Amino acid sequence: MSSDITIPANALLGNTRMRVSMKWNAVQTSCETFSYGEVEDYTVTISNDSRTSEFTANAIALGHEEIVDLTVYPNPATSYVNVNLISKAKAATYRIINTLGMSVKEGDLDTYINLANLNSGVYILEVNDGQKILTSKIMKR
């Protein structure tokens, strides 16, 4: 698989995150939660020289992978969300990301996450079980 990206002329110089997301056997929509596929984060360094950079990322699919599923409720939420992760991993971590891409809360995953100190708005919950990173959009009232 290959693709081209275009960096806007007004992009800020320096390091930025580029998220590549691929849904299995279907076209995904922006901010969609899906069960099969993968999401990978890369650091891209934007500089003011005119060189072209090219890289290749290889992925190897292993057979008989465990199905991983993430359920988050209630959504929208007021003070907390329940998190149900189905995974063979014994432990997982979470990170809550605001619409500016900044991490606003993180920790070891438990059965619920306290949202009381977050402002109202839309966030991305990112759960990492050491094998996969799953995401879910959450809305805080």
Q: Is residue 38 part of a domain?
A: no
Question: Residue 93: its pLDDT value, please?
Answer: 94
Whether residue 81 is contained in a domain is answered as yes
At which residue do the structure tokens 């995974």 appear?
Answer: 87
User: How confident is residue 87, by pLDDT bands cut at 50, 70 and 90?
Assistant: confident
Residue 35 lies in a domain: no
- Beta-bridge partner residues of 23: 37
Q: Are 111 and 83 in contact (CB under 8 A)?
A: yes
Residue of 102, 128, 58, 119 whose CA lies nearest to 136: 128
Domain count, the chain: 1
In a domain, 85, yes or no: yes
- pLDDT value, residue 94: 96
Residue 115, in any domain of the structure: yes
Q: Is residue 102 part of a domain?
A: yes
Q: Answer whether residue 75 is part of any domain.
A: yes
Q: Which of 38, 99, 103, 26 lies closest to 65, judged by CA?
A: 38
What is the tens place of the pLDDT at every residue in 103-124?
999 999 999 999 999 999 999 9
Tell me if the pTM is above 0.85: no
Residue 43 lies in a domain: no
* Dist CA 59 CA 20 (whole Å): 13
Looking at residue 89, which CATH number applies to its domain? 2.60.40.1930
Give the domain range for residue 86.
Answer: 69-140
**pLDDT at site 40:** 76
**Would you say residue 7 has pLDDT above 90?**
no
- Residue 131 reports pLDDT greater than 50: yes
Determine the pLDDT at residue 1.
Answer: 57
Judged against a pLDDT cut of 80, whether residue 100 lies above it is answered with: yes
- 12-64 pLDDT, tens digit per residue, is 888 887 777 777 777 777 777 777 777 777 777 777 765 555 554 544 444 44
